[in-house]
């Protein structure tokens, strides 16, 4: 039987039936420090080498988008910190940890849910990450005022600092798709604009105040207390060999309230659709992992939800968000997503600024039945030649959207040459972010 739980902020949360919850907390409002400690939180940190070993063996992967192995990142920061550790600059920490809770992805609400409802779990994870990289300063980076209030209130409960943790600062920026990119986070914390910078250096080499900086998604960090307490084998008890553990997934679909699930990696898509009440044969496609990886067609229903399977399918699990297309027209969805990228790109790189605008205009013309065959040729060319040309991945995301529309929906694209379709009228307008989770409404 499916159990659903309303939570602070109006979003319903659902654990996968029969699977333990590691990240979701069911019922009640924001977890207090006492409640968190009573359930085993903020345990004294034992030998850091043991924790590092558990992290390594767990196979924990980042939840911010790329699914990058957390242990590799930790090792990178530790290696980069050695010279600074020998001669620490006066008044500076040797390394820095940033808990990235900005969550620029419109179709996702998991990081804000964690920050609003389980601030102590995130702070405990940050404390453990700081121990791993020997950081004496940590930042919680976010844009949601409610999340900021929750974290500051959690810190007040603790008297200003996390037990045995680093000095902590909460930094709030204006929300934006690129504001959560790691170099944007570092630049904003350093006092600049929350827009991406050129790489190298990457934050693990030189980040906040020029120090080696671990930037990790808040959900990634929220896995550390479980891992520290129960060990790598327990962590691996859920999920697949290459995508171990559970993950938070914001699921949106037309005419249904968004739901935040905690799912074991490797779950068949059909199981999730059944849980969400969507008949598999009504699925036209999906935006998997949020806007970043583009569209999948109805073959999505034959896949499982793990990094390796989705990568093989030419997609990716990204931040775990799933927007399921049923009656919506994929051409109109692609046009709306590309227009969103056009509004949200940082306007720093000519290829991104101009290329995203051109791809948005071409798909909008297609959705409105105004495009000709050579517009499609140009769209195809842009989606290929512009890849990798921006300072951050946002231009690649726009290329993914255009290319996936052309590759996976040739029939629908052909139908739109010279015609708009009836379904375009019921799909998102191009001036809105489709499937954006406002905690109560979508589309
Ligand atoms: C355009 C763009 C936007 C991003 N936005 C976010 C974001 O909102 N939150 C986030 O955690 N990571 C975001 N990322 C990924 C971060 O750059 C970084 O890889 C991540 O925070 C690292 O955390 P993880 O290893 O725990 O996943 C974004 C990346 C790109 C290219
Ligand atoms: S690629 Fe686009 S979004 Fe990224 S920094 Fe350049 S202009 Fe900004």
SS3 sequence, 398-427?
Answer: HHHHHHHHHHHCHHHHHHHCCCCCHHHHHC
Peptide bond preceding 435: is omega within 30 degrees of 0, i.e. cis? Answer: no
Give the residue whose CA is nearest to atom 30 of ligand 1.
181
For the CA of 102, the closest atom of ligand 1 is 8
pLDDT for 442 equals 32
Token readout for 84 is 């600074």
Angle at 311 between CA 310 and CA 313, to 5 degrees: 65
For the CA of 219, the closest atom of ligand 1 is 26
Q: How far is the CA of 374 from the centre of ligand 1 (A)?
A: 35
Q: What is the DSSP string of 44-77?
A: PP--HHHHHHHHHHHT-B-SSSS--BHHHHHHHH
288/72 Cα distance (integer angstroms): 25
Low-confidence ranges of the chain (pLDDT < 70): 1-10, 82-93, 425-428, 439-443
Give the residue whose CA is nearest to atom 1 of ligand 2.
390
415/214 Cα distance (integer angstroms): 48
Pick from 181, 213, 293, 319 the residue to mutate for probing ligand 1's pocket: most ligand atoms within 8 Å of its CB: 181
Question: Which numbered ligand comes closest to the C-alpha of 346?
Answer: 2
416/97 Cα distance (integer angstroms): 49
pLDDT for 218 equals 98
Q: pTM of this prediction?
A: 0.94
Pick from 395, 397, 399, 401 the residue to mutate for probing ligand 2's pocket: most ligand atoms within 8 Å of its CB: 395
C-beta of 216 in contact with ligand 1 (< 6 A): yes
Q: Which one, of 389, 385, 339, lies nearest residue 362 by Cα? A: 339
Q: How far is the CA of 180 from the centre of ligand 2 (A)?
A: 12
Strand 246-253 versus strand 322-325 pairing type:
parallel
Are the C-beta atoms of residues 395 and 356 closer than 8 Å to each other? yes
Are the C-beta atoms of residues 78 and 161 closer than 8 Å to each other? no
Q: How far is the CA of 125 from the centre of ligand 1 (A)?
A: 17
Are the C-beta atoms of residues 18 and 3 closer than 8 Å to each other? no
C-beta of 126 in contact with ligand 1 (< 6 A): no
- Residue range 330-438, CATH number: 1.20.1440.230
pLDDT for 93 equals 58
Q: How far is the CA of 358 from the centre of ligand 1 (A)?
A: 25
Q: Which one, of 274, 270, 254, lies nearest residue 325 by Cα? A: 254
Are the C-beta atoms of residues 130 and 215 closer than 8 Å to each other? no
Strands (E) located in 37-165: 96-101, 137-142
Question: Which numbered ligand comes closest to the C-alpha of 111?
Answer: 1
Residue pLDDT, tens place only, 28-86: 789 999 999 999 999 999 999 999 999 999 999 999 999 999 999 999 999 998 654 45
pLDDT for 10 equals 63
For the CA of 348, the closest atom of ligand 2 is 7
3-class secondary-structure state, position 295 = strand
Are the C-beta atoms of residues 335 and 360 closer than 8 Å to each other? yes
pLDDT for 146 equals 94
Are the C-beta atoms of residues 392 and 348 closer than 8 Å to each other? no
pLDDT for 17 equals 87
Token readout for 170 is 């909460």
Are the C-beta atoms of residues 129 and 217 closer than 8 Å to each other? no
Strands (E) located in 218-312: 246-253, 256-264, 267-268, 285-288, 295-297, 304-305
What are residue 305's DSSP bridge partners?
Answer: 267
Q: How far is the CA of 198 from the centre of ligand 2 (A)?
A: 10
Are the C-beta atoms of residues 329 and 367 closer than 8 Å to each other? yes
C-beta of 180 in contact with ligand 1 (< 6 A): yes
Spans of all domains in the chain: 31-235, 246-325, 330-438
C-beta of 76 in contact with ligand 1 (< 6 A): no
For the CA of 395, the closest atom of ligand 2 is 1
For the CA of 352, the closest atom of ligand 2 is 2
Cα dihedral 110→112→113→118 (10° resolution):
120
Pick from 104, 347, 399 the residue to mutate for probing ligand 2's pocket: most ligand atoms within 8 Å of its CB: 347
Peptide bond preceding 158: is omega within 30 degrees of 0, i.e. cis? Answer: no
Sign, Cα dihedral of 173, 178, 180, 181: negative
Are the C-beta atoms of residues 269 and 288 closer than 8 Å to each other? no
Class of domain 31-235: alpha beta
Token readout for 192 is 């600049």
Question: Which numbered ligand comes closest to the C-alpha of 207?
Answer: 1
Class of domain 246-325: alpha beta
pLDDT for 438 equals 78
202/29 Cα distance (integer angstroms): 37
Count of C-beta atoms within a 10 Å radius of residue 62: 20
Are the C-beta atoms of residues 285 and 409 closer than 8 Å to each other? yes
For the CA of 100, the closest atom of ligand 1 is 11
Give the residue whose CA is nearest to atom 28 of ligand 1.
181
Are the C-beta atoms of residues 31 and 25 closer than 8 Å to each other? yes
Cα dihedral 342→345→346→350 (10° resolution):
-70
Q: How far is the CA of 346 from the centre of ligand 1 (A)?
A: 15
């Amino acid at each position: 039987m499916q159990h659903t739980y309303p939570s602070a902020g109006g979003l319903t949360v659902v654990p996968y039936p029969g699977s333990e919850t590691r990240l979701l907390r069911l019922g009640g409002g924001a977890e207090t420090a006492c409640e968190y400690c009573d359930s085993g939180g903020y345990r004294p940190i034992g030998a850091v080498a043991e924790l590092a070993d558990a992290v390594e063996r767990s196979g924990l992967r980042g939840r911010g988008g790329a699914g990058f192995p957390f242990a590799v990142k930790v090792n990178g920061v530790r290696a980069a910190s050695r010279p600074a550790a020998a001669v620490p600059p006066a008044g500076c920490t040797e390394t820095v940890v940033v808990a990235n809770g900005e969550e620029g992805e419109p179709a996702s609400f998991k990081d804000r849910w964690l920050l609003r409802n389980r601030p102590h779990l995130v702070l405990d994870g940050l404390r453990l990450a700081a121990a791993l990289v020997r950081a004496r300063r940590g930042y919680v980076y976010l844009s949601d005022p409610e999340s900021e209030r929750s974290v500051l209130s959690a810190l007040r409960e603790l008297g200003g600092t996390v037990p045995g943790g680093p000095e902590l600062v909460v930094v709030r920026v204006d929300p934006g798709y690129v504001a959560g990119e790691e170099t944007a986070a570092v630049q904003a914390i350093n006092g600049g604009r929350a827009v991406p910078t050129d790489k190298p250096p990457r934050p693990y080499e030189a980040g906040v105040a020029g120090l080696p900086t671990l930037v990790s998604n808040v959900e990634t960090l929220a896995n550390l207390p479980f891992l520290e307490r129960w060990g790598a084998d327990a962590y691996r008890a859920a999920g697949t060999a290459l995508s171990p553990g559970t993950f938070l997934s914001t699921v949106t679909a037309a005419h249904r309230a968004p739901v935040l699930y905690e799912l074991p990696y490797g779950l068949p898509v059909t199981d999730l659709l059944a849980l969400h009440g969507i008949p598999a044969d009504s699925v036209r496609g999906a935006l998997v992992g949020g806007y970043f990886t583009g569209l999948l067609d109805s073959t999505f229903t034959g896949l499982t939800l793990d990094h390796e399977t989705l990568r093989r399918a030419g997609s990716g699990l990204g931040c775990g968000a799933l927007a399921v297309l049923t009656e919506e027209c994929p051409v109109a969805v692609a046009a709306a997503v590309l227009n969103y990228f056009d509004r949200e790109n940082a306007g720093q790189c000519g290829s991104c600024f101009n290329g995203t605008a051109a791809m948005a205009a071409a798909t909008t013309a297609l959705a409105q039945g105004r495009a000709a065959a050579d517009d499609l040729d140009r769209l195809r060319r842009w989606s290929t030649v512009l890849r990798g040309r921006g300072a951050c991945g946002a231009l690649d995301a726009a290329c993914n959207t255009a290319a996936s529309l052309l590759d996976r929906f040739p029939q629908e694209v052909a139908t739109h040459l010279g015609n708009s379709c009836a379904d375009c009228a019921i799909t998102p307008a191009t001036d809105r972010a489709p499937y954006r989770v406002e905690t109560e409404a979508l589309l």
